[in-house]
Amino acid sequence: MAEKLGIVVAKFNHEITVEMSKTAQKRAKELGAKIIKIAEVPGSFEIPFAAKRLLENKNIDGVVTIGAIIKGGTDHDKVIAHSIAKKLLDLSCRYNKPVSLGVIGPNATWQQAKKRAKDYGKRAVDAVVEMLRKG
């Protein structure tokens, strides 16, 4: 039986996240997983809210998250990244379904994020599928 996935994609830093999303979708297909729904959100901060909605869907086994948080002039990127990571872990445990942290950052430059985009997209899917298969 194919794993049924939901994907949340942040639109902020679109040039990076669209590449991550394409890679994630391709990887899901390679692994034989089925993507049930793709939810787009304004930015990475909104990922947990959309992830929660997908986790509530009985037809979705796990959620892949896609985002890129670029380092700015303040510690805002760290605050956002740490908040997202904690909330996604909490949601995963609450719903007993795997949720990946496919969010680049904090402390990433635009160039670093561009370089890591495909790898992060692939690994985000790999993590959810592996947890479902070994769970």
Q: Which of 76, 86, 94, 115 is catalytic?
A: 76
Measure Cα distances from 33 to 25, 65, 66, 130 in Å: 9, 15, 17, 11
45, 39, 55, 90 alpha-carbon torsion, rounded to 10°: -10
Residue 76 is among the residues annotated as catalytic for this protein:
yes
Lookup result for tokens 């892949």: 64
Active site residues: 76
